Amino acid sequence: MVKKFLLIIALTFSFSLAKEFKPMNFKIKTVNGEVIDVTGTKNGLKVKGAEGKVLLVEFWGTHCPPCRFSIPHYIELKNRYKDKIEMLAFEVQQTPVEQLKKFVKSQGINYKVFAQNENGQFGSYLGARAGWRGAIPYLIIFDTKGNVVDIKRGMVSAKYVNKVVEYLLNRDNKINTKTDNNNKENNNTKENNNTKDKNSTTEKK
């Protein structure tokens, strides 16, 4: 069920992103001063440091009750999957940076948090491509290749997010394993062919 649902979302959203697509590069800065390179791709995003990870991007606010309620779930999710996932949370209620930094520290947030007033250009770009109209929380989920697979408006259950992350990690791991096996088979075939050619040359001599 999850697989079929995500496939429909992915195909629909991928098509909408492909229209008149123009790649753009950004440097976004967390409230702690970390600068990250991001590139808009045809079907999603390429985030430096998040290669091979499931990526979660959320528009949220410090004065939004559902957003605050979700924070412990995301902290737990990050603790559970560690370097297998990356989360970027964009605060869009214009909370001053210093105040936002204190909030992040007080809540024990272990994922990357960004202030809208420092990253407005990227926020507008992603919001436009994701169909965001200002409602929060607003969650966008990307697979390990950086392709959009799901968008959720409103609070999302921890159970659902865990299920999607687990599905994407398993799916992409199987794809990578299959690709590696195919490459090994191709290499073995080439080596066997080279050995045969050498043997044939030796026999002729």
CA–CA–CA angle 145, 58, 130 (5° rounding): 65
- pLDDT tens digits, 91-109: 999 999 999 999 999 999 9
- pLDDT tens digits, 177-196: 544 455 555 555 556 666 56
Q: What is the pLDDT of residue 106?
A: 97
Q: How many CB atoms lie within 10 A of CB 114?
A: 24
User: Per-residue confidence at 8, pLDDT binned at 50, 70, 90?
Assistant: very low
As a whole number, mean pLDDT of residues 166-176 equals 82
Given a cut of 90, is residue 149 above it in pLDDT?
yes
Length reported for the chain = 205
Q: What is the pLDDT of residue 146?
A: 94
CA distance 63 to 83: 29
Q: How many CB atoms lie within 10 A of CB 50?
A: 22
Contact 29, 118 (CB under 8 A): yes
Q: What is the pLDDT of residue 103?
A: 97
Q: What is the pLDDT of residue 23?
A: 80
Given a cut of 80, is residue 133 above it in pLDDT?
yes
123-131 contacts at long range (C-beta below 8 A, 24 or more positions apart): 123/59, 123/90, 123/92, 125/24, 125/26, 125/40, 126/40, 126/45, 126/57, 127/59, 129/17, 129/40, 131/16
Q: What is the pLDDT of residue 12?
A: 47
Q: Which two tokens stand for residue 54?
A: 């499931």
Given a cut of 90, is residue 203 above it in pLDDT?
no
- pLDDT tens digits, 19-66: 566 789 999 999 999 999 999 998 999 999 999 999 999 999 999 999
User: Per-residue confidence at 14, pLDDT binned at 50, 70, 90?
Assistant: very low
Higher pLDDT pick, 6 / 49: 49
Q: What is the pLDDT of residue 174?
A: 73
Identify the structural domains of the chain with CATH numbers, from first to last.
Answer: 2-180 (3.40.30.10)
Lowest mean pLDDT across 10-14, 20-24, 72-76:
10-14
